[in-house]
Chain A
Amino acid sequence: MSPFVLVLGLLGLPSAHAATIAMEDQSQLQPSAGHAAVSQFQPPQESELPDNAYGKLVKEGYALFVDTKRLAPTFVGNGLNCSNCHLDQGRLANSAPLWGAYPMYPAYRKKNDKVNTFAERLQGCFQFSMNGGTPPTADSREITALSVYAYWLASKAPLGVELPGRGYPDVAQPAKGYDLSGGAQVYKGQCAVCHGPEGQGQKAGDSYVMPPLWGKDSYNWGAGMHRINTAASFIKHNMPLGKGGSLSDQQAWDVAAYVNSHERPQDPRLVDGSVEKTRVKFHANDGVNLYGQTVEGVLIGQGIR
């Protein structure tokens, strides 16, 4: 942590804006060519875990991954858990499984001539998907336990080989593009029963069971899920819960656009307090997204507290 951030923290100022960004490049993974139905990688079972320090750390990583909000509250600024977007405890193919990710880091990005480590990738999800302000340091207990959990899930996976089922496989944009009013229809008919008519999610006690899709408790404007193409791929493969693959590509794109036309917490990379500058620097070449654009006379991307 830089001394600058430390001082701000001591003064009790909100650190979200001052936080150094661990992984500035949140642009999407290189989309992989469509995979044929090849045999799926099988991560190990929990029953196979050894009863020693390693097994304990794996379990700690598991706990953090599925119960993030409760166990790492200082690093989670919204209402989400990692497993909300990486289903089946980070095991499910086509739901950006940890076993598909771990063997692919450190990752080189030609675009900005940078190398990102696995720890930085985890920190990125904390800052953007979890809207968490300054993320846990690379050598923190949290990042260590989560990395060990991912390493274990990737047991016997080949290193540096892209496995089928990694990420959220691309769903190509339909020829007609996308339609927000069509998305509103899909949302009302297939999503609102769980995520609520206002995308607010539903709780049991004080924690979310159905996570919020927009508003102050959801992912922020810098998160990968804010891209319509990424959300469309996630939704097509994983939603409605338990009925993945049931929406048409058109429906997935329409509803992804509808969800991502709603306000959510500001992009923590905000440049000089300007949505327009932030759009030009970070969003103009980042897939399909509505950040900084005007829809029906309203500027999207103003953020929400």
Chain B
Amino acid sequence: MMSLERVLIGSALMLLLGNAHALDGKKIFTEGGSQPGAMPCVACHGADGAGLAAAGFPRLAGLPALYVRKQLEDFRRGTRVNPVMQPLANALTDAEIDAVSQALAAMPGAVPQPIHRSEMPIGAAQKLAQQGAWERQIPACASCHGPAGTGVGDTFPPLAGQPATYLAAQLTAWQNGTRHNDPNDLMGHIAKSLTPDEVQGVAQYFASLKLEAKP
């Protein structure tokens, strides 16, 4: 049996480590990592991590930690190609990636107003988002990303509250092969089936969803 003393020391250490991580993560966000090239995230992703819509930089606040970590690893691995984020992800240490992912997940993110499945969609983009286009094997975006594009679990990222240019750029990246990091090609075959009009339409649709006031 473990002595009380050891348990106490153990939990004190855990507390310290836990704190150190939280501090680290926030610091990496505002000041960058320890190695050259690890620029502060705040420069592009905005003070509160809400992204920079005009530049097409995505919001990171509130994204699941596992999703963020996976994306940074995918940039390193080259299954997601981007001239800005790839060198940056390579400049972060594993521990820094862990810490910053946790810190981002803890930042309050955009919360879309709920949409009920029973609302019949109006217009082509909303129809694609809420019902899909099954004659081309395209399920509703809502069936994986949630009815209001809130995101589901650690695997399916939110679409609501992301800039339209960013969303469209990702769909195009799948189409031309520069992003091929999705599990079992679940997203890739869908992006490849969309027409250019649909890419723009559905990106606009999710970017325009009403958000609830932040808590």
Contact = CB atoms under 8 A, between A and B. Distances in A.
Given A209-B152, A210-B152, A242 B117 contact: no
A241 B143 CA distance: 9
Contacts of A226: none
Interface string B117-135: 1101000000000011010
B138 interface: yes
Interface residues of B, number: 27
Contacts of B132: 88
Contacts of B117: 66-67, 70, 81, 83
B151 interface: yes
A66 B153 CA distance: 22
Nearest to A69: B117
Contacts of A243: 137, 184, 186, 189
A242 B132 CA distance: 10
A62 B118 CA distance: 7
B215 interface: no
Interface residues of A, number: 30
A241 B139 contact: yes
Interface in A161-209: 190, 193-194, 202-205, 209
A126 B205 CA distance: 34
Contact of B186 (A67, A88, A209, A240): A240
Contacts of B71: none
Contact of A242 (B142, B150, B183, B190): B190
B147 interface: yes
Interface in A123-159: none
A92 interface: yes
A244 interface: yes
A88 B184 contact: no
Which A-B residue pairs are the 3 nearest by beta carbons? A63-B118, A204-B146, A67-B118
Interface of A: 46, 59, 62-64, 66-67, 70-71, 81, 83, 87-89, 91-92, 190, 193-194, 202-205, 209-210, 240-244
